[in-house]
Structure 1
């Protein structure tokens, strides 16, 4: 195991932290609720971490909130290389998955090995959405843009001509899979 206190490890960690600053430049389709501009992926990740912290008691399963917050803080880091691909846009899913896996290897590979492997494993766990922590994290990743779209009178749904049925299909089961029902969801 690499000593994360060595000067080389600190250089790797600082390089990673400088690299992920690029997430602030990945612009998402979703507008801020005040509609002054579109949010960036770093803001989205931070907001989701806050959703997890505030809504942790809404999970219908036992979760480790520290792991959930870590997942949410790193889940979109791959967008630095692979770009953001909104749920309502058609894309070649296999090509996108490959691009994201390559991005995960490169970006998490900037860290000392043990740290990079830990974060990469969390990222893969989030993507698979099979553990309680990942299911809860994924539900929040669908809930936040849904709330933004409702608050902005349809926001990206109007732009993308998304139907009510498509909203139900793309958001409903993922959200209800990790959150106890509240409000309309």
Structure 2
């Protein structure tokens, strides 16, 4: 991105820091030759790179609900998850673990990099949707070291089962972010009410309806 003093990425040698602001630091990625004590194994590094590339697909997976409503340039799943994480970050609730909320937001739709965004309009049974996403999460997390594998899978499972106050709150953030995005699309198109069915969804909680009132005032 802008400002970085780049070197050849293909050569795996590059500098992270902008020149003149911080002392340039040369970083060389060693995929197999480095000591296991200093870095993960070559196979582990390759698996991590594969994991990151798979997750990177989320930047190119559109949110299906907007596609079905012919929204121009619909947001990606990654866009949606990022703003949810920011919403969790700016939350002030002493009864919630903010860090866990951010982590849940970043993981909750991660399986969609493999299965895509399965919308209600796709008429996929809930059990089948869960099965596909569960298999995708197992495939993804198997690329990670044991501790991270366990952490990410359990975060996803916690959200799916709504087994904590944080998971329930992040579910509400998911709904509220959808409402906020719908409001933005209506504003951009200058067509108030075009996406009213998203607001009226039976999945939207009273708390999220309050968010709707706030963003449409």
Residues 30, 148 of structure 1: 8 Å contact kept: no
- The alignment status of 1:98 with 2:131, answered yes or no, reads yes
Give the equivalent residue in structure 1 for 2:103: 70
Q: Which has the higher helix share?
A: 1
* Runs of 5+ consecutive residues of structure 2 not aligned to the other structure: 1-36
Aligned with 1:45 (options 76, 81, 92): 81
Preserved CA contact (<8 Å) 1:79 1:100: yes
In structure 1, list runs of 5 or more residues that go unmatched: none
SS in 2 for 1:38: coil
Counterpart residue number, 1:27: 62
**How much does 1:184 deviate?**
3.3
RMSD: 3.0
Contact 2:66–2:74, Cα closer than 8 Å, also in 1:
yes
Q: Give 1 or 2 for the bigger CA radius of gyration.
A: 2
Change (3 A) 1:173 1:97: farther
TM-score (structure 1 length as normaliser): 0.77
Greater RCO (Cα-Cα under 8 Å, separation 6 or more): 1
Q: Distance in 2 between matches of 1:70 and 1:24?
A: 18
User: Of residues 46, 56, 66 in structure 2, which corresponds to 1:11?
Assistant: 46
The superposition leaves residues 103-146 of structure 1 with CA deviations (integer Å, 9 ceiling, x where unpaired) of 01001111112111110000000111120110111110110011
Aligned residues: 169
Q: Which residue is equivalent to 1:131?
A: 164
